[in-house]
Structure 1
Amino acid sequence: MRVLVTGATGKVGGAVVRAALEAGHQVRVLVRDPARVPGLPRPVEVVVGDVTDPATLPAAVAGTEIVFNAMGVPEQWLPDAAEFDRVNVAGSDNVARAAARAGVRRLVHTSTIDVFDAPPGGRFDETALAAAPKGTPYERSKQRAERAVLAAAGGMQVVIVNPATVYGFPPYGPTSMESRMFRPALRGLLPAVPPGGFGLVFTEGLARGHLAAAHAGRPGARYILSDAHVGLRELTAAVVVAGGRGRPPVVTIPAVAASVLAAGGEAVARLTRRPPPLARGQLHYLRWNAIPDATRARTELGWEPTPLAEGLRRTLAELDRA
């Protein structure tokens, strides 16, 4: 079938493109920057446009049966927090409205586990949708994006995928976990890590989950995709083992010190317009440290998590080539 993938030059969208091509689908991608087209897998059909510009979307959605809305701003800090709503919320709303008008049968929307609620360190599943606005601009934008897509759908089926923290294949931006944690750990240059942990999901397994949601997901349902929950020291130790080199951190930064560092880093970032080493929103997420339960995806979609050792092995092989 013919499918459209937004965010195709990003980590999640790129993985969905690869998985869709492997599954034999005809893949169209919406690309904002034509200069990034050569880096896309082949064969894909390219439409140049922007989710924040509704006029560019009809050509992208026309004739497609499934739309994977995998675009979004994944950062926890931006110089202008309004950008979260402009892209994550308004952009998703634009995509959903254009798809519905074009008669698209189903839209698979990439959200996040941040839209759920649980006590710090607690366990949660899809029934734990947060009723109140979450604590960071990024989280609130993802909450609003879900509501916008569902409201704009009309008769179109919408399935929501809620990934844990994504790691795996490129791109590896300067704020990515691979650049900020994996590479320094492999070089023995990561003496300390912030407190807390998170759920993780490997890009290629996440993409298979998107395709499973397109095929078997219940309209209106959410599906958590998470391979495992790990603490930061546990994760970096596993990276060192998988890479066969480097040194894991020996210190966890105390929570109070981490909060001071995050606040100071953001103060500097507001002047430099460059991301801080540790954003307050990121620390908030790490200290939440809640455990995602992917039982629904495994039961209803037949999705299987990627073992952490396998995901790290494949990630580090790609990281060495990048």
Structure 2
Amino acid sequence: MKILVTGSTGYLGARLCHVLLRRGHSVRALVRRTSDLSDLPPEVELAYGDVTDYRSLTDACSGCDIVFHAAALVEPWLPDPSRFISVNVGGLKNVLEAVKETKTVQKIIYTSSFFALGSTDGSVANENQVHNERFFCTEYERSKAVADKMALNAASEGVPIILLYPGVIFGPGKLTSANMVARMLIERFNGRLPGYIGSGTDRYSFSHVDDVVEGHVAAMEKGRLGERYLLTGENASFKLVFDMAALITGTKKPNFSIPLWAINAYGWLSVLISRVTGKLPLISPPTVTVLRHQWSYSCDKAKLELGYNPRSLKEGLEEMLPCHYDE
């Protein structure tokens, strides 16, 4: 099949392009003129454009059977928060309209986020959870919740879309905002993050990037139109992640916890520095707000319907750490 991948130069998107090519599909990658193409396989067809540029998107969709819409701004904080809406909401709107205009596309596989469902705070949620919209930890979360509603409305109107919700993606490879676990572990091992984060009561659903890629391909092959699928994994705290990392690398565990108020103060300082340097901070106040909540999910539906088979957190870290331990 002819497949368009948006977000193709991102951490998830590039690996998805590789797998689709290995499965014998023809892949067209939507890329910007300024994009780093180093992670893309040479066999992909390049379509220059942007999800915020409707005409370039319709041109990219032309003749395609499937669209994987994986493009998104994935940051806890940006100096211009309006960009989250323009890319994450406006980009999806453009994809939906471009598909209607193109008429050849049989299926849209939309990469959402667990943030679109909202925090769980003591429970383990499934695909039935809908964001309560009473509060948003980050503008990214707000934009994904708005886009989620748009995608569900499109599905109810007969648009052939499948919604996927990865957890906290981690694994070897590019150190982007989408690979937060690797970035935090590097901070941990080089001494810039000497202790645990908070009290260890946080919970996240950790997903290995290659499992999420396989989940995307399975959704294309087996997923039911209009359905939501959580592509999550083991629910754990960052304290457990740090402990596992220490065990795997033979290093010492942290012997103290950094309280969230101190991390929050560091976050505000990092934001001030970011406004001067232009380099986005690893920690910001919205990140700390996320850390005050729990994000635990069940991927049983994806296991049953898609054959999704996520590896354990320990297996994933054992694979990832040799790639990043010395950085």
Superposition TM-score, scaled by structure 1 size: 0.90
Provide the aligned length of Structure 1 versus Structure 2.
321
Residue 140 of structure 1: aligned partner:
142
Residue 151 of structure 2: aligned partner:
149
5 Å-filtered alignment, 1:156-195, equals 156-173=159-176, 176-178=179-181, 180-187=183-190, 190-195=193-198
Please state whether the residue corresponding to 2:122 is helix, strand or coil.
coil
Measured in 2, the distance between the counterparts of 1:284 and 1:162 equals: 21
Measured in 2, the distance between the counterparts of 1:35 and 1:267 equals: 27
The question of 1:46 aligning with 2:46 is answered yes
1:260-282: CA deviation from partner (whole Å, max 9, x where unpaired): 33344334434444323422222
- 2:162 and 2:225 in contact (8 A); partners too: yes
- Of the candidates 254, 263, 266, which is equivalent to residue 261 of structure 1? 266
- 1:115 and 1:139 in contact (8 A); partners too: yes
Please, what is the CA RMSD of the aligned residues? 2.4
- Of the candidates 213, 217, 237, which is equivalent to residue 231 of structure 1? 237
Structure 2 residues without counterparts, runs of 5 or longer:
none
Tell me: CA distance 1:321–1:57, structure 2 relative to 1, closer, same or farther (3 Å). farther
- 2:189 and 2:325 in contact (8 A); partners too: no
- 1:158 and 1:220 in contact (8 A); partners too: yes
Residue 200 of structure 1: aligned partner:
206
Residue 32 of structure 2: aligned partner:
32
Residue 219 of structure 1: aligned partner:
225
Measured in 2, the distance between the counterparts of 1:321 and 1:18 equals: 26
- Displacement of 1:247 in angstroms is 3.5
- Displacement of 1:169 in angstroms is 3.2
5 Å-filtered alignment, 1:224-303, equals 224-242=230-248, 244-303=249-308
Please state whether the residue corresponding to 2:21 is helix, strand or coil.
helix
Structure 1 residues without counterparts, runs of 5 or longer:
none
The question of 1:309 aligning with 2:310 is answered no
Q: Match of 2:167, as an amino acid?
A: A
- Displacement of 1:130 in angstroms is 1.1
5 Å-filtered alignment, 1:45-84, equals 45-84=45-84
Please state whether the residue corresponding to 1:170 is helix, strand or coil.
coil
Tell me: CA distance 1:46–1:119, structure 2 relative to 1, closer, same or farther (3 Å). closer
- 2:75 and 2:177 in contact (8 A); partners too: no
Tell me: CA distance 1:320–1:40, structure 2 relative to 1, closer, same or farther (3 Å). farther
Q: Match of 1:180, as an amino acid?
A: R
Please state whether the residue corresponding to 1:201 is helix, strand or coil.
strand
Measured in 2, the distance between the counterparts of 1:144 and 1:216 equals: 26
Tell me: CA distance 1:186–1:256, structure 2 relative to 1, closer, same or farther (3 Å). closer
Measured in 1, the distance between the counterparts of 2:3 and 2:285 equals: 37
Measured in 2, the distance between the counterparts of 1:38 and 1:291 equals: 34
Identical residues among aligned pairs (%): 31
- Displacement of 1:11 in angstroms is 0.9
Quick check: 272-281 or 300-309, which moved more? 272-281
Please state whether the residue corresponding to 2:63 is helix, strand or coil.
coil
- Displacement of 1:161 in angstroms is 0.5
- Displacement of 1:255 in angstroms is 3.0
Measured in 2, the distance between the counterparts of 1:116 and 1:25 equals: 32
Measured in 2, the distance between the counterparts of 1:321 and 1:254 equals: 27
Measured in 2, the distance between the counterparts of 1:275 and 1:59 equals: 32
Measured in 2, the distance between the counterparts of 1:61 and 1:295 equals: 32
Measured in 2, the distance between the counterparts of 1:25 and 1:134 equals: 42
Quick check: 188-197 or 61-70, which moved more? 188-197
Tell me: CA distance 1:110–1:14, structure 2 relative to 1, closer, same or farther (3 Å). same
Tell me: CA distance 1:159–1:245, structure 2 relative to 1, closer, same or farther (3 Å). same
- Displacement of 1:307 in angstroms is 1.8
- 1:265 and 1:276 in contact (8 A); partners too: yes
1:23-54: CA deviation from partner (whole Å, max 9, x where unpaired): 22111110113552343113211111111111
- Displacement of 1:197 in angstroms is 3.6
